[in-house]
Every structure is written in C-alpha cells, then in structure tokens.
Structure 1
Amino acid sequence: MTHRHIIAILRGLTNEEAVPVCSALVEAGITLIEVPLNSPNAVESIARAAGTLSDRAEIGAGTVLSPEDVRAVAGAGGTFIVSPDTNVAVIEETVRLGLKSYPGVFSPSEAFAAIRAGATGLKFFPAEVLGAKGIRAMKAVLPPALPLYAVGGANPDNFHEFFAAGCTGFGLGTYIFKPGMSVSETAERAALAVAAYDKGAQT
C-alpha cells in the first residue's frame, strides 16, 4: 500500500456514508481517514469503516478531547487520534493504548509539550494562520524525523509551499468532504489531492 501522508477529515459523515465514502478515498489513494467525534454517531462510523477497510486503510478520530474519547475510539477499531489542542492526558492515553497521536499545536511550547507526552506527529493548526514561514521557523528546532502535518488552509494549490517548509503531509477537511457532497465528488477531489501530493513529494 502506497502511504501518502494525507489525512481526509470527514466532519459531518453519517453512518450510512461511512463505508462508501471511505472506500472511495482508499480507491483514490488516501489511506489515512479521520472521522471527527463531533460528527453524528462518529464512533459507529469509525467502527463500520474500520471493520470494512482495516486491511487497506487507517481509520482514526478527530476532535478528540478526553481520555474517555480515546478509549471509545480504540474500542471501535480506530488506530489514530487527532486532537485540536495539546492535551497531555489525551496524548498519554493514546500512546498507552498503542494508537498513533497527532495533537494540534500552534507554538513551540505546545509542540514540545506534545513531543514529551509521546506524540507520533504534530498537526500545525490552523496552518493558514501560521503560514509556511511560521512552520519553517518552528521546524528548525523540532526533531528532524518528526512528521509534521499542515491542517486548516492546506489544499492542493499550496501543498508545495508547506512541503518546502518541511511538512510531511496534510489534513484536508471541507476541500475533500462536506455534508451533502456526493461520493463521486469526494472521489474526484481525493484524486486531485493525491496528484498534487505526489507532484510535491517528488520535488
């Protein structure tokens, strides 16, 4: 399986959409799929997607705010946790349960707090406010091998800027999925994102 560091963020996904939408993303080449916990019955959607696609994709949760949430996601078969903030208790519980942890950070202090707690990678959020320049400045003091994701304002048009700043990958939300969007439109946008990612990763 080709591993691209693109996380599809499916905020507002319904249980009925979980398998068809996630399957379309995997077919397009995106194998990291996040269902935010403020989506309807999110844990059930994670369970359905993981049950069908766990051999082809990693299914995780976003907007994870408590250790209890982490345990619910783990019980549903989720394999990674994305949080909007640097919550040490969430990171530590994620690591304890053997899941991958991608907390949201905006400053060097948050970044190093997340690293000390055991984060797998960092989510720079909102990336459109930090900008590639801000990320590049922080990258200079972070562990070189630590994966960095630009989320919130990253899209195929500016992948190259964030790659140049040292980002490993991206989280794509409303660009790739919004409630009411057809599976075919999500698949088309996923294909565009994969093409832009592959182009940027080679340069």
Structure 2
Amino acid sequence: MQWQTKLPLIAILRGIKPEEARDHVAAILDAGFDAVEIPLNSPQWEISIAAMVREFGDKALIGAGTVLKTEQVDALAAMGSKLVVTPNTNPDVIRRAVSHGMTVCAGCATATEAFAALEAGAQTLKIFPSSAFGPDYIKALKAVLPKDVPVFAVGGVTPENLDVWLNAGCSGAGLGSDLYRAGQSVERTAEQATAFVKAYQEAVK
C-alpha cells in the first residue's frame, strides 16, 4: 500500500466555513500540500467539500474527516470526494468508502482496532490522539503491523516535532489546530502550511 499523494501530510480544516474554504485551501496547496480534509462537524460541510472538489479535485486529494456513518460516505461519494478520514474503526463505514473507490484513513489506537480497519479495507491508519500515546507507542505498534501500511500521526503534531513522529515510523501526519484554527487569517494558514512542508522536507532528507 502507498499513500496516494506526493506529500504525506493531511491538512485538517476543522470549523472552516464555505465562504472561507477556497482561500485557505488555495494557500495550503500553494505551500505544497496535496491532501485536504474538512471534518463533518464543520459548518455546512457539504457546501465546502463539494466546492473544493470542483475547484481543486484535479490537483489534490480532497475529502472529509470525522466520518461516522455510511450515509455520509454515500453523500461524499456523490459529490466526488476521494478521501474519508474516520475518528474510529467502523468496518461498515470503511467498507462503504472502499466500495466507492475512496482512500480511507481510519482512526485507531490499538492493534486490535488497526487490524480490524485493515481487514475492512482501510489503506491507511491514523493513530489518534498521537500525543496521548507518544512516539514509542507508535514504534511498538508498527512492529506488529504490515510493513507496507502507511501510519499517520494525528493530534499534537507541530512543525517542531514532526520529525519525531516520522522517526517513530509514521509515513506522515494529519495536521489540525497547529495548521488551522477556525477564524484564523489566510496569511496564518499559509505561514503554518509552509512551516510544515519545510519541516517534512528537512526530516526526510
């Protein structure tokens, strides 16, 4: 299995509004990102995701986070979304997304959850919340997982500590409040996106 995009960092835009989405997504893509997640607990997510898929779907993997129900997966597939990120391991949600040809990054914490997600067809795993478990935990978990499965750290990842997670065996990371907080300026988003890209490039030299 391989992660679908050139840069294995997912921009998580939790709380973004439809009227803000374009400028922030454009800034993130300009910085070098090519995967964007808009969580479904964001205001009018269906408007934001559909618009971002139309505008940027040919340049980046655009999709949704906090996906909990199969009906949500169907709605996302209908609007052309290609990425489903879950906070938990729900085999029905994973299978439905895979049946639509979507990339699934399934949230898990334990080996039991990780293997359940893989059995359901998830191509990528996210350890959430990573900061609560720490890099040593991920390193230990990686030892029992199939070597070709990309594992992402999510929760508490910053430009300053990204290398720690990569050194623990993560392929990449999902970036939330250290990249984007609801209401922040586009300039701030661009600045943080650039810092994360630089941190990744330096870590994998």
Q: Is the 8 A contact 2:16 2:183 kept in 1?
A: no
- 2:155 maps to 1:152: yes
SS of equivalent to 1:61: strand
Q: Of 99, 104, 109, which residue of structure 2 is paired with 1:101?
A: 104
For 1:45 and 1:94, the matched residues in 2 are separated by 19
Structure 2 residue runs without a partner (length 5+): none
Contact 2:67 2:86 in 1 (8 A): yes
Misfit runs of 4+, over 4 Å: none
* Equivalent residue in structure 2 for 1:49, among 43, 52, 55: 52
**Structure 1 unmatched runs, 5+:** none
Partner Cα separation in structure 1 for residue 105 and residue 182 of structure 2: 24
Q: Following TM superposition, by how much is the alpha carbon of 1:161 offset from its aligned partner in structure 2, in angstroms? A: 1.1
Rounded to whole Å, the distance in 2 between the matches of 1:28 and 1:77 is 24
Matches of residues 53-202 of structure 1 in structure 2 within 5 Å? 53-202=56-205
* Local SS of the residue matching 2:38: strand
Normalization by structure 1: what TM-score? 0.97
Equivalent in the alignment of 1:32: 35
**Does the CA contact (< 8 Å) of 2:157 and 2:178 recur in 1?**
no
Offset at 1:189? Answer: 0.4
- Counterpart of 1:11? 14
Question: Shift in Å at residue 90 of structure 1?
Answer: 0.5
How far the C-alpha of 1:74 sits from its partner, in A, is 1.1
Supply the distance in 2 between the matched residues of 1:187 and 1:75 (Cα, whole angstroms). 30
Task: Name the TM-score, length of structure 2 as normaliser.
Answer: 0.96
**1:69 aligned partner, one-letter code:** Q
CA distance in 1, matches of 2:68, 2:34: 24
Instruction: Quote how far apart the aligned CAs of 1:173 are.
Output: 0.6
What are the superposed Cα offsets for residues 51-108 of structure 1, whole Å, 9 maximum, x if unpaired?
A: 1111111111000000001111111221010000001010000001100111100000
Q: Percent identity?
A: 44
RMSD of aligned Cα (Å): 0.9
Q: CA deviation at 1:201?
A: 1.7
Distance in 2, matches of 1:146 and 1:201, equals: 18
